[in-house]
Structure 1
Amino acid sequence: MQTVVVLSLICALGLALGKIRVMGISLGVAFVFFVGILAGHFGFEVDSRMLDYAQSFGLILFVYCLGLSVGPGFFGSLAHEGVTLNLWGLAVILIGTAMAVCLCPLTGISMPDMAGLLCGATTNTPALGAAQQTLSQLGIPHSGTALGCAVTYPLGVVGVILAILFMRKFFVRPADLMPRSISEENETYIARFNVVNPAIVGKSLEEIATMTHLRFIISRIWRGDEVIVPKSTTQLQLDDRLMVVTKKEDASMLEILIGLHVEEPEDWNSEKVDWNALDNKMESRVVVLTKPILNGRRLGSLKIRHTYRVNISRITRGDIKLLATPDLRLQYGDRLHIVGDPKSVDAVEAFFGNSVQSLNEPNLAAIFIGIILGLALGSLPLQLPGMSIPVRLGIAGGPIVVGIIVGAFGPRFHLITYTTRSASLMLRKLGLSLYLASLGLDSGAQFFETVIRPEGILWICIGFALTVVPVLLVGMAALRSHKFDYGTICGILSGSMANPMALAYVNDTIEGNSPSVSYATVYPLGMFARVILVQMLLMIAGG
């Protein structure tokens, strides 16, 4: 009971103070960590086993729900920008490791102690565990390693946020703050075309689709005063006016195929378009998929166009808009944009369910099953060539990997992974608050005593440099490349430093989901790299 009361007070006070803005800046949930340190310093104590449980459970809940939320768009981003994102993340890791190696002879700090400083500065507890196991096998004492990690860990958590704030204040342009998709295949673009190409006149839509590699959906056709919901057998005629959903980069190629791209004053890609005002014969309606039996089914297998004589033009999944292609697998909670006559749309609505109320009840069983699988994966020893000690993903790496996989492929096995955005954010914030409160309380008990030790100030300064310098160097280089928006860069930096608090701060202050996607993209490889590098350094130094 005492543990619950103390952690609740720390979370409540930290979240309240985190809303305070100084010069337009607030730390949000990150303030929970500072309140925890102060509580530990002033003698607040809880049962150590309960504290370990709260810290572990909070971190597991946060990283699993994060992986679950970014899973649907993760592999699309990985295929397009994943290699580039991970290269930037590895640059952060290599710069920090090189600094640690160079600082050993300059400061007189031994490699085991420097390894501890590096693990704390990068908030990487799996790397610390690997370092301690390596030193034990080499017969080298590792008490200084653990102490170095404890000293540098608090500022390692905060240092990434400070570096991000510094970049935003002095180097970020307004254009850099605009979210950009890192998974362009998940973007839809709506445009109107007039058929003027004689090569496609008289051909069916099925025949035209075989003439090009372009992916597009024709949602409706205007032919004189007639409005047509097209089928695969519908033949195009000269001067037909088409409403087409495609990808933006394919619009110019479609103009070559179809004919005339009509530039109109109204932006069809605006969220405020009244589609039902286009004509009075067709209705456009958004229907939510809430029938579990349809979860994971391919859209083409349902034969919706043939059975109901309607068109599904696009599908919204979270913040991502997808082309409604036949091979697309549906997921529970998908929002389908349907065009057809009112009676047909009513029938399709009943087919898909459209029970919005059911979406307010997240499938908690799937979350707990995913957590169990994540912990199982995190505990598996992975033997890598040349490494004498097996590597483990741990309680942070295992759940986030499983969360990504379940979020991306769960529907294929008819596993309902849908949670509302508000429920997902609440679970993530609850987990992160518990983790930071426990971490701060545990660190605060000896933090100030360690600081006043003779080597304490030097260790803290070195740890702070190992945190901030690589983040700033890579962050500013990434900004100057103009390849990514600021949110994506912050996600790369937070993921490469294994810093969920920095990610939470970025998500609180930046629009869009790009920080979470880039964080999840670089985190697994970054964690592996740090665990392997610290073991290599110690084995080389010990040899």
Structure 2
Amino acid sequence: MDWIINLFTNTESVAHIALLYAIVIAVGVYLGKIKIGGISLGVTFVLFAGILAGHVGFTGPKEILTFVQDFGLILFVFMIGMQVGPGFFESFKKGGVTLNLLSATAILLNILVMFGCYYLFFDTSNPQNLPMMVGTLYGAVTNTPGLGAANEALLSVFPNGAPSIANGYACAYPLGVVGIIGATILIKYITRVDMAAEEEQLNEEEAANPHAKPHNMHLRVENAYIAGRTLREVSEFLNRDIVCSRLLHNGEVSIPNSKTTFEVGDELLVVCAEADAEAIKAFIGPEIDAEWDREKDEVQHFVSRRIIVTRPEMNGKTLGKMHFSSVYGVNVTRISRQGMDLFASRNHHFHVGDRVMVVGPEENVNRVAEIMGNSVKRLDAPNIATIFIGIMVGIIFGSLPFAIPGMPVPLKLGIAGGPLIIAILIGRFGYRMKLVTYTTTSANMMLREIGLVLFLASVGIKAGAGFWDTVVQGDGLKYVGCGFLITIIPILIVGTIARLKFKFNYFTIMGMLAGTYTDPPALAYANASCSKEAPAVGYSTVYPLSMFLRIFTAQIVVLFFCGA
């Protein structure tokens, strides 16, 4: 029995540390699956399991706990950056600008409400209170990376020992999850939303706004202007991307290239962006019913095949510069990336993991498949080098000091902000540096969740020793109440403005608010309320900038105000 006692009490042994984390994480994840009213805390329950372990004395050396905490945070924020990077800059296009401004407004209001509660309900002469309110802020908005960034910034302000802000986070988090959903529901009644009418509006918008979905149609050339002109000339005149995947001329079916000329009476199988279809029909000729493309395909061995880009050499190359049409006699008609179908524009940059629809003679399609790779097995191999190169550069970047007048210490993005920014840039522009950034969704989620639970477990274990004195016998109820105010007031203000002033669809607002608070349970509730993708679109539009601002403002607040 001595060996069991030693295993649980010898805090210096590697086995004890491994057992500590295994128990805390396993218990936290398991309990996090329990739903109350259809809502669960998810992996965040690991924090509470860690607090309990720390409170009863089941702990480890502070240096090891700090290392695991920081490494988990780095891994977590880096994988988030890799995930949101490809869509970060695109999120500012079209209606995304307004949604992101509303999201940024909500983030600013969260901070203002936090300061309001601090000055109204707490002793401002106590230097511990404002850091605790920062922890409460990030529990109220359910943002764990922000907690990590604030925790790290506090080490610069309190080099001899930073306050344990995880206790404020733990107090505010449960009501934060409930408050986000509750305030979103309240907006529905404040603005008198008709859910059926909102869904009908989405149906109408979906029909009228096809974005860049590919559209197939058979056309007969009846415009005499086109006679004798090439596909490239027609495309340039229309100022629209157009792919002609089949041509019927004098009874013969062929795969046209950019130099192929058309004649009146030719029949074409055209692929274009759905929004361009009417303009192309008006210019070339009417849409017709045709079966010849399938009949001739069987005779001439034409095939349509979906090919996966797996060769690193293809990463970042544009479709137009590959000359598939002129060299191999095949056409790329559409590209699928992360489950989304895209029109095959000449300016499209290939990324490893893209699924490309190629049409042409079977032998030539096979040659193109060899060029692109088309090896599913290769995709399963993780690109470890890119991840750790990015982490290395991110840590160096995060360690650079930026001197700002009026701040007690130089601003550093730290191990949270630095890797996040570098990961976003690699996710978006990595192909220019020949970095393969593709990671399967499951691999990204696995690394992200491992980093998150390591961070939460470490924070909880370290905070557990003082949790009872700080929360139960201290100002715990104040933190809970203030956290609830921090959660709901910005949602009610921004949600009402988004609805009444900017006329956004209610389901889009639900997704936008869930993304602003980086809160998956709120998104799950929004998705369950709507059969369309509007909540997910709203969430993904604001999530990248929101995550960045949450992490960045955490450090700004701590460095500007907590050190004063």
Output the TM-score relative to the length of structure 2: 0.79
Kindly tell me: are residues 349 and 18 of structure 1, through their superposed partners in 2, closer, same or farther at Cα, counting changes over 3 Å?
same
Are residue 36 (structure 1) and residue 50 (structure 2) matched? yes
Q: 1:482 aligns with which of 504, 514, 538?
A: 504
Are residue 465 (structure 1) and residue 485 (structure 2) matched? yes
Q: 1:310 aligns with which of 295, 312, 330?
A: 330
- SS at the partner of 1:336? strand
- SS at the partner of 1:122? helix
Are residue 25 (structure 1) and residue 45 (structure 2) matched? no
Are residue 58 (structure 1) and residue 82 (structure 2) matched? no
Provide Cα deviations, 1:251-292, integer angstroms capped at 9, x if missing partner.
Answer: 34334433445799xxxxxxxxxx979953431101112222
Contact 1:197–1:258, Cα closer than 8 Å, also in 2: yes
Q: 1:161 aligns with which of 152, 166, 177?
A: 177
Shift of 1:132: 7.6
Contact 1:338–1:345, Cα closer than 8 Å, also in 2: yes
Kindly tell me: are residues 506 and 207 of structure 1, through their superposed partners in 2, closer, same or farther at Cα, counting changes over 3 Å?
same
**% same residue:** 34
The 10-residue stretch of structure 1 (41-50 or 96-105) with the greater mean CA deviation from structure 2: 96-105
Are residue 377 (structure 1) and residue 397 (structure 2) matched? yes
- SS at the partner of 2:465? helix
Q: 1:493 aligns with which of 505, 516, 527?
A: 516
Aligned to 2:307: 287
- SS at the partner of 1:283? strand
Root-mean-square deviation over aligned CA pairs: 3.7
Aligned to 1:270: none
Contact 1:154–1:443, Cα closer than 8 Å, also in 2: no
Kindly provide the amino acid, as one letter, of the partner of residue 152 in structure 1.
G
- SS at the partner of 1:284? strand
Are residue 72 (structure 1) and residue 86 (structure 2) matched? yes
Shift of 1:105: 4.9
Contact 1:507–1:515, Cα closer than 8 Å, also in 2: no
What is the distance in 1 between the residues matched to 2:216 and 2:384?
A: 40
Contact 2:511–2:526, Cα closer than 8 Å, also in 1: no
Aligned to 1:120: 135
Provide Cα deviations, 1:473-499, integer angstroms capped at 9, x if missing partner.
Answer: 43454466425736741453235xxxx
Kindly provide the amino acid, as one letter, of the partner of residue 41 in structure 1.
H
What is the distance in 1 between the residues matched to 2:390 and 2:367?
A: 35
Q: Aligned runs of 1:245-394 on 2, under 5 Å?
A: 245-260=271-286, 279-280=297-298, 281=300, 282-384=302-404, 387=407, 389-394=409-414
Kindly provide the amino acid, as one letter, of the partner of residue 38 in structure 1.
L
What is the distance in 1 between the residues matched to 2:437 and 2:424?
A: 11
- SS at the partner of 1:485? helix
Contact 2:310–2:372, Cα closer than 8 Å, also in 1: yes
What is the distance in 2 between the residues matched to 1:393 and 1:490?
A: 26
Provide Cα deviations, 1:374-411, integer angstroms capped at 9, x if missing partner.
Answer: 11111112234654542222222111211111111111
Are residue 190 (structure 1) and residue 215 (structure 2) matched? yes
Kindly tell me: are residues 361 and 261 of structure 1, through their superposed partners in 2, closer, same or farther at Cα, counting changes over 3 Å?
same
What is the distance in 1 between the residues matched to 2:486 and 2:120?
A: 14
What is the distance in 1 between the residues matched to 2:30 and 2:156?
A: 40
The 10-residue stretch of structure 1 (526-535 or 429-438) with the greater mean CA deviation from structure 2: 526-535
The 10-residue stretch of structure 1 (46-55 or 115-124) with the greater mean CA deviation from structure 2: 115-124
Kindly tell me: are residues 322 and 367 of structure 1, through their superposed partners in 2, closer, same or farther at Cα, counting changes over 3 Å?
same
Are residue 524 (structure 1) and residue 548 (structure 2) matched? yes
Kindly tell me: are residues 326 and 334 of structure 1, through their superposed partners in 2, closer, same or farther at Cα, counting changes over 3 Å?
same
Aligned to 1:272: none
What is the distance in 1 between the residues matched to 2:45 and 2:475?
A: 27
Kindly tell me: are residues 476 and 164 of structure 1, through their superposed partners in 2, closer, same or farther at Cα, counting changes over 3 Å?
farther
Kindly tell me: are residues 435 and 205 of structure 1, through their superposed partners in 2, closer, same or farther at Cα, counting changes over 3 Å?
same
- SS at the partner of 1:359? helix
Kindly provide the amino acid, as one letter, of the partner of residue 487 in structure 2.
T
Output the TM-score relative to the length of structure 1: 0.82
What is the distance in 2 between the residues matched to 1:436 and 1:455?
A: 22
Q: 1:430 aligns with which of 447, 450, 466?
A: 450
Provide Cα deviations, 1:128-167, integer angstroms capped at 9, x if missing partner.
Answer: 665786699xxxxx99x936x3442113444442233325
Kindly tell me: are residues 100 and 334 of structure 1, through their superposed partners in 2, closer, same or farther at Cα, counting changes over 3 Å?
closer
Contact 2:133–2:479, Cα closer than 8 Å, also in 1: no
What is the distance in 1 between the residues matched to 2:137 and 2:294?
A: 53
Kindly tell me: are residues 527 and 421 of structure 1, through their superposed partners in 2, closer, same or farther at Cα, counting changes over 3 Å?
closer
- SS at the partner of 2:342? strand
- SS at the partner of 1:392? coil
What is the distance in 2 between the residues matched to 1:72 and 1:251?
A: 28
Provide Cα deviations, 1:35-64, integer angstroms capped at 9, x if missing partner.
Answer: 333333333212222222222222211211
Kindly tell me: are residues 7 and 303 of structure 1, through their superposed partners in 2, closer, same or farther at Cα, counting changes over 3 Å?
same
Number of aligned positions between the proteins: 515
The 10-residue stretch of structure 1 (426-435 or 236-245) with the greater mean CA deviation from structure 2: 236-245
Aligned to 2:530: none
Shift of 1:351: 2.0
Aligned to 1:395: 415
Shift of 1:169: 5.5
The 10-residue stretch of structure 1 (350-359 or 478-487) with the greater mean CA deviation from structure 2: 478-487
- SS at the partner of 2:517? helix
Q: 2:225 aligns with which of 192, 199, 206?
A: 199
Kindly tell me: are residues 103 and 256 of structure 1, through their superposed partners in 2, closer, same or farther at Cα, counting changes over 3 Å?
same
Structure 2, unaligned runs of 5 or more: 1-14, 139-145, 189-194, 528-532
Aligned to 2:236: 210
What is the distance in 2 between the residues matched to 1:41 and 1:89?
A: 37
